[in-house]
């Protein structure tokens, strides 16, 4: 009976999610650019989850609002830094894409409206501000998605199936949700193949969905997933990729649409699939009352 109820909730949630998202898909695809409509699109799954919960339970309490233990938040924040350093370090050292501090500092100075004397110092200060203050802005955007994907969808899938299936299915849905803006707008690496970018993105997202699901279920909180999402966007999109000079190979190696992070997704998926086996029968953590 509970399984049937969970599937009904999931179907309603997906209807709301793609219905709300289609509004922003329309404006994004019409303009060809995601920048203006990113926040609205990212909050569509969150609003869909809130509406679904209100319809079925008249409450939004059991979405993982408590913060949980700090070690899960720390892991979530540090993980993108670690795999970012590994992937981009290889790119820089191998010459696939040069470390371009000058361009990064110039763009940062233009963004800030400030003069830049020393590119290295300016880049360091800018990076530290992004890594501290910037994470709060990034978390607000990520929260919209994570209320939906991990606050609602993963726990409901886990009630109806298993950790493995919940991770896979949520990852596939997450990928499909991104597909229109990857294939038809500017959410891709400039100069790269859209199809190749979508394939790499799918490996990254589906693999990392095991990490997100494990953090959500293990901690009983959606906030580690929010912080992981925010940290990834901040460091990969805001620091590591802008620090990398363009070559003929970089569109196929770096960022979310390159082979580097696709391999990271596969590795993380295997590691956290193994870690998640002990959660296959432990769904009580998402059933407990949350204050």
Q: pLDDT tens-digit profile of 39-69?
A: 999 999 999 999 999 999 999 999 999 998 9
Instruction: Decide if 19 contacts 12 (C-beta within 8 A).
Output: no
Integer-rounded Cα radius of gyration of the chain: 19
Predicted local confidence at residue 287, as pLDDT = 43
- Provide the pLDDT for residue 244: 97
Indicate whether 116 pLDDT > 80: no
Mean pLDDT of the chain: 93
Q: What is the pLDDT of residue 286?
A: 43
CA 172 and chain centroid, separation: 13
The answer, yes or no, to whether residue 169 has pLDDT greater than 50, is yes
pTM: 0.93
Instruction: Report the SS3 class of residue 16.
Output: helix
Helix (H, G, I), strand (E, B) or coil at 244: strand
What is the rounded distance in angstroms from the CA atom of residue 267 to the CA atom of residue 231?
19
What does the pLDDT average to over 227-235? 98
Q: C-alpha angle with apex 52: 49 to 57, nearest 5 degrees?
A: 120
Q: What is the mean pLDDT of residues 1-18?
A: 90
Neighbours of 95 (CB within 10 A): 9
- CA distances 126 to 98, 120, 133, Å, are 20, 10, 10
Confidence of residue 290 (pLDDT cuts 50, 70, 90): very low
Q: Of the ranges 75-79, 102-106, 274-278, 287-291, which is most confident? A: 75-79
Residue 283 has pLDDT above 50, yes or no: no
pLDDT confidence of residue 112: 75
The CA–CA distances, whole Å, from 199 to 172, 195, 271 equal: 12, 6, 21
Q: How many separate helices (H) and strands (E) can be counted in the chain?
A: 12, 0
């Amino acid at each position: 009976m509970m399984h049937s109820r969970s599937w009904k909730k999931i179907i309603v949630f997906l209807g709301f999610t793609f219905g709300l998202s289609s509004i922003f898909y329309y404006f994004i695809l019409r303009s060809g650019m995601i920048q203006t409509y990113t926040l609205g699109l990212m909050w569509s799954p969150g609003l869909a989850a809130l509406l679904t919960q209100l319809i079925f339970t008249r409450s939004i309490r059991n979405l993982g609002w408590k913060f949980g233990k700090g070690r899960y938040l720390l892991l979530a924040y540090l993980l993108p830094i670690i795999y970012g350093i590994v992937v981009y370090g290889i790119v820089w050292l191998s010459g696939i894409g040069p470390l371009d501090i000058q361009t990064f500092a110039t763009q940062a100075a233009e963004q800030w409206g400030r003069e830049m004397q020393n590119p290295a110092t300016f880049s360091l200060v800018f990076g530290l501000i992004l890594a501290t203050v910037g994470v709060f802005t990034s978390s607000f955007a990520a929260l919209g998605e994570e209320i939906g994907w991990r606050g609602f969808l993963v726990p409901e899938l886990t009630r109806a199936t298993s950790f493995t299936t919940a991770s896979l299915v949520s990852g596939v849905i997450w990928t499909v949700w991104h597909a229109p803006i990857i294939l038809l707008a500017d959410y891709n690496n400039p100069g790269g193949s859209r199809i190749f970018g979508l394939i790499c993105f799918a490996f990254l997202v589906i693999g990392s969905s095991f990490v997100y699901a494990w953090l959500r279920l293990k901690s009983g909180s959606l906030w580690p997933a929010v912080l992981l999402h925010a940290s990834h966007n901040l460091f990969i999109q805001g620091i590591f990729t802008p620090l990398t000079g363009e070559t003929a190979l970089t569109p196929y190696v770096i960022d979310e649409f390159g082979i580097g992070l696709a391999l990271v997704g596969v590795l993380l998926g295997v590691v956290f699939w193994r870690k998640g086996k002990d959660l296959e029968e432990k769904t009580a953590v998402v059933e407990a009352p949350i204050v």
